[in-house]
Amino acid sequence: MEDCFRIKQGLCFLLFLCVTDVLCVSIHYSVPEEKKTGSLVANVLKDLKLGVRELSARRAQLVSETSKQYFRLDTHTGNLLISEKIDREALCGQTEPCLLVSQIVLQNPLKIYSIEIKIEDVNDNAPKFSKNDFQFGIPENVPPNTRFPLESAQDEDLGENSIQNYTLSPNEHFQLGVESNTDGSKYVTLILEKALDREKEPHLGLTLTAIDGGVPQRTGTSQINVNVLDINDNFPEFTQSEYKAILKENCLRDTLVSRVEARDLDFGSNAQITYSFHRMPKKIHNLFNLNEMTGEITVLGEIDYEKETNYEMTIQATDGGGLSGHCKLLVEVEDVNDNAPEISVISINSPLPEDSPLETLVVLFSVKDQDSGENGQILCSVDMNLPFVLKVTTNHFYQLVIQSSLDREKVQDYNVTITAMDRGSPRLTSTRVIHVQISDVNDNPPVFEKSFFEMQVQENNIPGLLIGSVQAVDLDTEQNAKLSYSLLPGNIGGGPVASYVSINSETGNMYALRSMDYEKIKDFKVTVKTTDSGNPPMSSDVIVHVIVTDENDNAPFFLYPLQNSTHPCNELLPKMAEAGYLITKLVAVDGDSGQNSWLSYELLKATDPGLFSIGAQNGEVKTRRPLTERDASKQRLVIAVRDNGVPPQTSTAMLNILLVDGFSDPYLKVVDVRQQEPENEGTLTMYLVICLATVSFVFLLCIVSFVGIKMCKKDHGSSFIVAPPHFPPAIPENCTDSQSGSLSRNFPYDVCLTNGSLSSEFRFLRPLIPVFSVADPNIPVNHNSSSVSQDLPEYLDDNKASEQVRKWFPILFFQKGMNIW
């Protein structure tokens, strides 16, 4: 009765747990034991009110509370089938009803159905006696109606299939008495109806038969041998009719449970008492040991509270004369916390997309503890620093759901440690590590290594030259991080970007598609776009500034004197001019920039080299000495201008200087110097031949006359030495030459002369093209350069020269008198 009451309490407790956030419905089925594997128990679709395909769609799972899975669920048909043959006696013993509780777990949404399957008993066990024969010694003076307890047969079946009746073989001395215990089991006694007479019949043989109520009916028999004894008129008597003991589970072997004591008033052998178990199941024989001499009951086997909570034993005391007395021993097993919680994972959603919404189910698991009371109460927890949280459902089911957003770029996976701890003493803990991987989604755009790229390419490059590379990174992985590069449409100098540069879509290398010209395009900007291969794709762009560096590929060009006219440029020089007189200023420009545009001037050839000098940096032509009557009235100068590039470029200009008495005449006739050039050249040649002959004669005369005499020192006249120009280390932009009275080197100007004036008058405008002069005088000058003269028609064409003058020097020239250019 107590077992039945406890089972009812447990069912009520389970029903109470079902009232939670997740609906739990109980369904009851029954199935006989010993049915074949694969036998149908029931179809759950109708009871669950579900469609045929809903079980598989909602990932239905059958979770058993036992260690063995006796049933399985066919999610396609809804049939509940037997997966392992069931033996009710091995599973539940004498417990009635024998229930197997399982849960059907449905997901999306989560719903749990509790299924209780009652295992029905079949009559598959016959009654059995512990012995095939029993020996009784009965004194002959025992009065009629004396009762002799017999050991009952054991039948593992229950109900109608258990023992229903006992029969005794016919005899004239004994009859059988059948009575029931409080638990419904039957026990028998042998009743003496007629006094025994040892002298007539010293031995009696009886057959005891136990009959169950099953179909087919099964029986068990045992032989009873009665020996008629001489008179022993005192029975052993126990000091207590019932003993009680409390025993903790898992106690050690040979632990004392209790000690019983019986007394006999007889003497001699009739007073010698031995103790034994009476009417004991086999399982108790395996758990406890009774000392037949002392009456001490000790532990023999393993005591497990989870298998049995109490034991009831009958102990018999027998004296030497065969008389016996009986008592009961009730042993209550006390639970200890010896079972750690068990964590059973039902489903894991891994890998988990990093953009999964909050409350997404990650792990579904159940926890159970075989202990009872506080020892069976469980607390579950996970680490606090994780983006997951536990939620309790019903029947010790737990959900691990997302509580904060995931980012694979920060954490690629998680090792979630689930800890289950009971409330026993000491507390027992179980852990289960769940590995949850985070899968990537395309949520990060590509990022360039720099916010702005700058590259350089030298002009006159070969097409296809690698000018630089752009690189970007993507924090995503695999396909989402695979990048491709492209150029956004745009224009450079009126042409499309694609005609100037290209980019490798895989490496980001940029190539020049054409030869660059610094004088046309000094720099340009292109926009590079990188796109990943995700879905949807993400992209970023960056501006690349390409700077074209200058190369010394342009020779200097004279703006003054302009070398495109058929008439040479003539300058007037008063004969009264003193040394240092400024005759004119040569102006040249270079299409290159930087060091390649720093110009220096040099006097290559002159009619009288000692008469004129030219400023290496400013191009000012001055007299070196006062004029004399011997100086030719017509002087021709060949002047070279050289840039500072590597290798240097050179151009030449021719300047004619006419020596005049003054500038008072209102009109100066332009003399055609070219007609007199042959005469001057012939005269000069004649003078050179006469000088050479004279020198040769003097030399021969000296060798003959003054052999062995020291050579006299010769005073050489001063001559004009052409030296490489000296470039100062740095010339400020607004610096002026105070000694020479000239302008700053970066100011071009025009010379305007009036009649009767011995000095020049200048007008200056804002500089447009700075001319830098830097060079090392120790560096040799390379004269292998291209020259620009009036004999080069393609470069000194009138129209071209005018355009270049307008381009480089848009300067207004003013004059008081006659403007000479």
AA letter at 794: E
Distant-in-sequence, close-in-space partners of 175: CB < 8 Å, separation ≥ 6: 168, 191, 193
535 and 583 housed in the same domain = no
The predicted structure's pLDDT at residue 681? 52
Based on the domain organization, do 144 and 97 belong to the same domain? no
Please give the pLDDT value at position 568.
Answer: 67
Residue 469 is assigned to a structural domain of this protein? yes
- The average pLDDT across 798-806 equals 42
Q: With 50 as the cut, is the pLDDT of residue 623 above it?
A: yes
Strand order, beta sheet including 388-392: 342-348, 361-368, 397-402, 388-392
Confidence of residue 766 (pLDDT cuts 50, 70, 90): very low
Domain boundary (660, 680, 711) is at: 660
| Contact status, residue 333 vs residue 249, Cβ threshold 8 Å | yes
Q: Which tokens sit at 267?
A: 């003497």
| Confidence (pLDDT) at 736 | 35
- Give the 3-state secondary structure of residue 778: coil
- pLDDT tens, position by position, 128-159: 888 888 888 888 888 898 888 888 888 777 77
- As a whole number of angstroms, the distance between CA 795 and CA 256 comes to 129
Report the alpha-carbon distance of residue 363 to residue 411 in Å, rounded: 18
Picking from 224, 231, 213, the residue whose alpha carbon sits closest to that of residue 191 is: 224
Query: In a 3-state reduction of DSSP, which class is residue 712?
Result: coil
Q: Is residue 212 part of a domain?
A: yes
Instruction: Name the 3-class secondary structure at 609.
Output: coil
Residue 102 shares a structural domain with residue 174: no
Residue 279 and residue 297: Cα distance in Å, rounded?
16
Place of tokens 């983006």: 387
Which amino acid, one-letter code, is at 375? Answer: N
pLDDT at 735 over 60: no
* Higher-scoring residue by pLDDT: 232, 775: 232
Considering 76-80, 476-480, 729-733, the range whose residues carry the highest mean pLDDT is: 476-480
Q: For residue 290, what is the enclosing H or E element?
A: strand 288-290
d(CA 597, CA 591): 7
Q: State residue 150's pLDDT score.
A: 86
Q: In this structure, are 114 and 161 located in the same domain?
A: no
- 716 in a domain, yes or no? no
pLDDT bracket for residue 331 (50, 70, 90): very high
Q: Residue 348 has what pLDDT?
A: 92
Split into its structural domains, the chain has a count of: 6
Note the pLDDT tens digit of each residue in 419-431: 999 888 888 899 9
- The verdict on 248 and 223 lying in the same domain is no
Contact by Cβ (8 Å): 46, 12? no
pLDDT tens figures, 258-282: 999 999 887 778 788 999 998 888 8
Segment 210-235, tens digit of pLDDT = 888 888 888 888 999 998 876 777 78
* Within a domain: 168: yes
Is there a domain that residue 539 lies in? yes
pLDDT for 345 equals: 92
Where does the pLDDT of residue 798 fall: very low under 50, low under 70, confident under 90, or very high at 90 and above? very low
Judge if 255 and 324 occupy the same domain.
yes
322 and 363 within one domain: no
Mean pLDDT of the chain: 78
Distance separating alpha carbons of residues 768 and 397, to the nearest angstrom: 87
Cα–Cα distance measured from residue 379 to residue 689, given in angstroms and rounded to the nearest whole number: 126
Q: Measured in Å, how far apart are the chain's first and last C-alpha atoms?
A: 138
What are the CB-based long-range contacts (under 8 Å, 24+) for 754-761?
Answer: 754/663, 754/815, 754/816, 754/817, 754/818, 755/663, 755/664, 755/665, 755/666, 755/817, 755/818, 756/662, 756/663, 756/664, 757/663, 757/816, 757/817, 758/574, 758/576, 758/577, 758/663, 760/582, 761/815, 761/816
Count other Cβ atoms within 10 Å, centred on residue 177: 16
* 356 within some domain: yes
Q: Is residue 305 part of a domain?
A: yes
Point out the domain boundary residue: 518, 549, 580. 549
Q: State how far the Cα of 450 lies from the Cα of 21, in Å rounded to an integer.
A: 54
Last residue of a domain, one of 120, 155, 190: 120
Q: Work out whether the CA dihedral 401, 404, 405, 408 comes out positive or negative.
A: negative
The answer on 62 and 95 residing in a single domain is yes
Determine, yes or no, domain membership for 760: no
539-548, 566-575, 690-699: segment of lowest average pLDDT: 566-575
38 and 82 assigned to the same domain: yes
CA-wise closest residue to 301 among 292, 293, 316, 311 = 311
DSSP secondary structure string, 534-602? SSS--EEEEEEEEEEEP-S----EEEES-TTSSSPEEEEEETT--TT-EEEE-EEE-SS-GGGG-EEEE
What is the Cα–Cα distance from 389 to 382, expressed in whole angstroms?
7
Location of structure tokens 């956030």: 21
What's the pLDDT score for residue 801? 40
Whether residues 295 and 319 fall in one domain: yes
* Domain containing residue 496: CATH number: 2.60.40.60
Could you tell me if 96 and 161 lie in one domain? no
132 & 182 share domain: yes
Query: Between β-strands 133-139 and 219-229, what pairing exists: parallel, antiparallel or unpaired?
Result: parallel
Write out the residue range of the structural domain in which residue 291 sits.
237-334
